[in-house]
Structure 1
Amino acid sequence: MERRCMGCMEMYDEQFEICPHCGYVHGTPPKEAYHITPGSLLAGRYIIGRVLGFGGFGITYIGYDQVLETKVAIKEYMPGEFSTRMPNQQMVTVYSGERAEQFHEGMLKIIDEARRLAQFQNEPNIVHIYDCFEANNTAYIVMEYLDGESVKELLARTGKIPVDQALDIVLKVISAMKKVHEIGIIHRDIAPDNIYILKDGNVKILDFGAARYATTKHSKSLSVIIKPGYAPEEQYRSRGDQGPWTDVYALAATFYKMITGVTPEDAMERSVKDLLKKPSKLGISIPKGMETAIMNGLNVRIEDRTQTMDEFEQELMAAEVKEKVARQRRADVGKIPMWAKIAAAVGSLAVIALAVIVMTFNFMPKLEEYALPEGKTMVPNMVNQDLETAEQMGNEKQLQVMVQSMKYSAVIPEGNVTNQLIPTGTVVDVQTEVGLEISRGKEKVVVPLVQGMGQEEAVAALEEAELTVETREVDNEYFAPGSVVSQSIEGNTTAVKGDTIILEIAKDNGGGDPNIMVSVPMLEGMDLTEAQQLAREDHLYIYTVENEFSDTVPEGAIISQETAAGEQVAQNSTIRVVVSMGREKVQMPGVETMERQAAVDALETLGLTVTIEEEYSNTFREGTVISQSVAADEMVEKGTSVTLTISRGPAPQRQTQPARQPQTQTARQPATQAPQTQAPAPTQPATTAPPATQAPTQAPTQAPTQAPSNNKENLINNQLGGIGAQ
């Protein structure tokens, strides 16, 4: 007989465990515990297969429509910020309170948008929608299954795409987006990963973002949602003025990435200082008109940007295109600019409330209208960057990056930034410290050793450890019927919380005669496998009651048996034993960022020994743990030595010859100044000595202009200082 592969939905002979079409292994559990188990039936019609992709807002599965007898893609609405699912269930659990409201608002949006998109069945460049319905306390969209690769995957292989090929892709996307914009839908997430190139060369735009907008208007996870480089500045604001121009920016950025291989700089950073180079400056051979069209579409300010897809298309195809020069208004010195109010509030709790007010009333666009004054900088978006990159970004902005804490994250990869304590786009003093929270990756748990135990006990132990359990029966003559023959994840190791572990359970194969009595052998001290073989000679079974740590009995050997050696028992009886797990092991905790003594105490409490090393660090506070020689979550024996590297803070700056030069100059200054300045100004501080030496030669040219400049700076400083009073 044949079975349907849950990896590709093709049919193959069921005698094979591995699909000959795609290599999918039959019975493979879902990648995440909250994913639907492959083979499940949805709406009595759709077979759910493996996961094609998942993110913060939902999960996409390969599926099979039993009515139309065709492959499909099934998108499940499941924003992780507002909902979850228990393992081995289909029903979605929605969090209570305000998050429930946001979940349902987003669900209504995605259903409405899917139904509107369904009218484009004849549009070749929009993924076709077949069905949309509510089930399992959430919403599903059934759409055509795409066989090909995304532009992101193509770029990963090739680095760049020839201009003519990239233009063909962009024009097809424009064709689709013009029709979508006509009915009032904005994509909001055009990027290389959402443009798909089929094997026949056709282009599809997918993953429209109306639900993303609905679920994030109150969300704090903006930095994770927005794709830096492709999102225009209005998407950084909760009520930004979004429209067709928003998609124009994203598509122009995608075009730029395709032909240059370079992701455009973040829109919020460009709003302060625009360093984006034209493609020709990066060595790309491109018609002048087309290059201008791309740069017009990438203008930061909405009013300076290409407004519609029609206009963008016309400019791309025109021989000559007028450059839309980004305009900037001069800041009125007599008024207090918005950046000044923000900057003055940074460093206090008031910045949180102020940031909310600024975003609520859409004042954020004003940031780009003012050049940052000397001594000020803007905080970049460091979320989801590795620490080295985040440190480089901080250095470029003259900021001090400091690791404050580490925590588990199901979304952000291990070692990357999960949160920054000063939000992206905040204007602060240079050398301001920006605290970072770093991901430890997905949380891990200790996997219990359950081999030899009864199925019920084993499942209970694994579920208590927050693991998902699947079972299947196998033939095995050495294990008692109903006991665990093997576990897919080895015991006394660690696994990601929620991972699926498969248990093989021994079938009852008969054999033996319960009317025949036999003598129980001496099993204590024997290896479990040897004991099973010995017991089986008399048609007896070994049943593991418990696994215990032992300093004296080797791992895998029997510590004790409940039925004494020599006792008479019937054949097919089970001999209950306790098996050694060897020397006791503990799960290594993560102590990075902890204070030295707290980290030492935590490790010594677990029976570990600690060695200390020290080194200078610019990103870890003095006295905190930079690294540990044994990685967090590893299983180690008690008594293991762990080396902690402790931060000594920043390396001291050596005094070099140039640092002594001011002293030498100061020593010479009295000789040159004595005839002119020392007598009339005997109390003048040493810090004003350099201007005094310049006075005889520069007074005729500088004196008239310097005073107004100082007055202007004083005026701005006075305004900044008076903000608190307002």
Structure 2
Amino acid sequence: MGWQPGEQLRNGQYTIIRELGRGRFGITYLARDKQGKTCVIKTLSDDLINQLIPSDLKRLEDKIWQEATKLAHCQHPHIVKLKESFKEGDRVCLAMEHIAGETLEHLPNKILPEFVALDYIRQIGSALNCVHEKGFVHRDVKPANIVLRAGKSEVVLIDFGLARGFDNPLTTVQASTADGFAPLELYHVDSEQKPYTDVYSLSATLYVLLTGTIPASAMDRSLQKAQLIPPKQLNSQISDHTNTAILEGLKLAPEDRHQTINEWLKLLPSGHQNLVLPQIEPALFWTIVGAMATVLGTIPAWMPLLKPSSPPTPSPSPPVIEQPQKTLNN
């Protein structure tokens, strides 16, 4: 069923405004707190709760409590802020900061300039470093989980995959040809997940930002021998350094990838160095050159018009006001 607009949670602390979306594991609501500020409430989906036996549900809830505690300690400008965690009836809830803006998945320009995409990726990379230092992995890095703050060039990582990797068949990530962001280790409950897991997903995110295309899924590449198309083949404007970094980050075997976000970020070009500038068509180039020559050629004709007919009259000097001398009385 879910909660309806106007319903109150936590003894009136939060009022539901509307449902924002739902996925396999959870439902997300827009709410308003007692101070009148909007926030986001996340909880487990009804389908998931109804399918789990009580012992498995308890273990999943414990896992979410533990990781929510870690998330609360990740104070970083590019990580969504956790306000608090609580239980409403039989549901674990997370109250989080509401970020006004669009996700990178819904940006009007599906293919970003390389320097813009790299800026966003470095911001998220910095956030992931903070996450990893606190001892856990995001597990769900993708454009849909990165919000560009309205009116700013600042991106924020949201929607941590707190339920991913829970060792129950109902919550284990299943193979999907559409999920080009999940590395192989997220498809197997017994596989170890470390920072290199997020390296894969961040690389796939950069792939999409620069090509507008989701890379072939890790499962399809592993089981069906699907080919990973180098991003530079889809967008020739991508620099060689960035192309190489993406391919390195998308290696199937965890041990073949760079083990930390910082190691992988070092592969990217710094600033505008080694970036490929947009190419100008020859016809347009010569049109621009001709226009510049025309403008420059008319400058001598303008010069007489710019000369004053007579020297300007100097402005009168301001009067000098002498200050009366002060005398000291002995």
Q: TM-score range by the shorter chain?
A: 0.7 to 0.9
Aligned-partner Cα distance in 1 for 2:30–2:53:
29
Give the Å deviation of 1:159: 2.6
Secondary structure of the corresponding residue to residue 62 of structure 1: strand
301 and 79 in structure 1: CA distance in 2 versus 1, 3 angstrom threshold: farther
Aligned-partner Cα distance in 2 for 1:193–1:220:
20
- Listed one character per residue, the Cα deviations across residues 652-698 of structure 1 (whole Å, up to 9, x for unaligned) are xxxxxxxxxxxxxxxxxxxxxxxxxxxxxxxxxxxxxxxxxxxxxxx
Aligned-partner Cα distance in 2 for 1:35–1:191:
26
Give the Å deviation of 1:165: 1.1
* Greater RCO, 1 or 2 (C-alpha within 8 Å, sep 6+): 2
Alignment of 1:326-345 (within 5 A): none
Alignment of 1:470-485 (within 5 A): none
Secondary structure of the corresponding residue to residue 20 of structure 2: strand
Question: Please, what is the CA RMSD of the aligned residues?
Answer: 2.1
213 and 227 in structure 1: CA distance in 2 versus 1, 3 angstrom threshold: farther
Alignment of 1:357-506 (within 5 A): none
Paired residues of 1:186 and 1:210 also in contact (CA < 8 A): no
Which residue of structure 2 aligns with residue 166 of structure 1? 117
Which residue of structure 1 aligns with residue 278 of structure 2? none
Secondary structure of the corresponding residue to residue 60 of structure 1: strand
Aligned-partner Cα distance in 1 for 2:87–2:49:
17
Q: Residue 118 in 1 paired to residue 72 in 2?
A: yes
Q: Residue 297 in 1 paired to residue 264 in 2?
A: no
Give the Å deviation of 1:174: 0.2
Alignment partner of 1:242 out of 186, 193, 209: 193
Aligned-partner Cα distance in 2 for 1:303–1:266:
18
Aligned-partner Cα distance in 2 for 1:148–1:220:
29
Which residue of structure 2 aligns with residue 82 of structure 1? 49
Which residue of structure 2 aligns with residue 47 of structure 1? 15
Percent identity between matched residues is 35
Which residue of structure 1 aligns with residue 203 of structure 2? 252
The size of the alignment, in residue pairs, is 269
Paired residues of 1:150 and 1:194 also in contact (CA < 8 A): yes
Alignment partner of 1:141 out of 94, 103, 108: 94
Alignment of 1:19-38 (within 5 A): 34-38=1-5
Paired residues of 1:56 and 1:79 also in contact (CA < 8 A): no
Give the Å deviation of 1:275: 1.9
Give the Å deviation of 1:40: 1.1
Which residue of structure 1 aligns with residue 30 of structure 2? 62
Alignment partner of 1:130 out of 83, 89, 101: 83
Aligned-partner Cα distance in 2 for 1:221–1:177:
22
221 and 113 in structure 1: CA distance in 2 versus 1, 3 angstrom threshold: closer
Q: Which runs of 5+ in 1 are unaligned?
A: 1-33, 84-94, 321-726
Paired residues of 1:196 and 1:203 also in contact (CA < 8 A): yes
Paired residues of 2:112 and 2:209 also in contact (CA < 8 A): yes
Which residue of structure 2 aligns with residue 315 of structure 1? 267
The aligned amino acid for 2:96 is M
Secondary structure of the corresponding residue to residue 85 of structure 2: strand
Which residue of structure 2 aligns with residue 230 of structure 1? 181
Aligned-partner Cα distance in 1 for 2:123–2:247:
19
- Listed one character per residue, the Cα deviations across residues 461-507 of structure 1 (whole Å, up to 9, x for unaligned) are xxxxxxxxxxxxxxxxxxxxxxxxxxxxxxxxxxxxxxxxxxxxxxx
Aligned-partner Cα distance in 2 for 1:167–1:256:
11
- Listed one character per residue, the Cα deviations across residues 19-78 of structure 1 (whole Å, up to 9, x for unaligned) are xxxxxxxxxxxxxxx121211111121111100111121111111110x33111111223
Which residue of structure 2 aligns with residue 548 of structure 1? none
Which residue of structure 1 aligns with residue 287 of structure 2? none
Alignment partner of 2:129 out of 165, 174, 178: 178
Aligned-partner Cα distance in 2 for 1:300–1:57:
25
Give the Å deviation of 1:209: 1.3
Paired residues of 1:148 and 1:197 also in contact (CA < 8 A): yes
- Listed one character per residue, the Cα deviations across residues 343-377 of structure 1 (whole Å, up to 9, x for unaligned) are xxxxxxxxxxxxxxxxxxxxxxxxxxxxxxxxxxx
Aligned-partner Cα distance in 1 for 2:169–2:236:
41
Alignment partner of 2:58 out of 104, 122, 133: 104
Paired residues of 1:217 and 1:239 also in contact (CA < 8 A): no
Alignment partner of 1:73 out of 1, 16, 40: 40
Aligned-partner Cα distance in 1 for 2:204–2:18:
32
184 and 80 in structure 1: CA distance in 2 versus 1, 3 angstrom threshold: same
Alignment of 1:619-630 (within 5 A): none
Give the Å deviation of 1:172: 0.6
The aligned amino acid for 1:255 is L
220 and 73 in structure 1: CA distance in 2 versus 1, 3 angstrom threshold: closer
Alignment of 1:585-604 (within 5 A): none
Paired residues of 1:226 and 1:235 also in contact (CA < 8 A): no
Structure that is richer in strand per residue: 1
Which residue of structure 2 aligns with residue 152 of structure 1? 105
Aligned-partner Cα distance in 2 for 1:283–1:218:
39
Give the Å deviation of 1:113: 1.4
Secondary structure of the corresponding residue to residue 87 of structure 2: strand
Alignment of 1:688-699 (within 5 A): none
Q: Which runs of 5+ in 2 are unaligned?
A: 275-330
Give the Å deviation of 1:227: 5.6
Secondary structure of the corresponding residue to residue 306 of structure 1: coil
Secondary structure of the corresponding residue to residue 174 of structure 2: helix
Query: TM-score with structure 2 length normalisation?
Result: 0.76
Secondary structure of the corresponding residue to residue 61 of structure 1: strand
Give the Å deviation of 1:219: 2.5
Paired residues of 1:260 and 1:284 also in contact (CA < 8 A): no
Paired residues of 2:128 and 2:261 also in contact (CA < 8 A): yes
Secondary structure of the corresponding residue to residue 119 of structure 2: helix
Which residue of structure 1 aligns with residue 146 of structure 2? 195
Secondary structure of the corresponding residue to residue 47 of structure 1: strand
Aligned-partner Cα distance in 2 for 1:220–1:72:
26
Secondary structure of the corresponding residue to residue 82 of structure 1: helix
Paired residues of 2:172 and 2:189 also in contact (CA < 8 A): no
Give the Å deviation of 1:183: 1.3
The aligned amino acid for 1:309 is I
Aligned-partner Cα distance in 1 for 2:70–2:2:
27
Aligned-partner Cα distance in 1 for 2:236–2:68:
39
- Listed one character per residue, the Cα deviations across residues 578-625 of structure 1 (whole Å, up to 9, x for unaligned) are xxxxxxxxxxxxxxxxxxxxxxxxxxxxxxxxxxxxxxxxxxxxxxxx
The aligned amino acid for 2:250 is L
The structure with the larger Rg is 1
Aligned-partner Cα distance in 2 for 1:112–1:57:
17
Paired residues of 1:129 and 1:142 also in contact (CA < 8 A): yes
Give the Å deviation of 1:212: 2.5
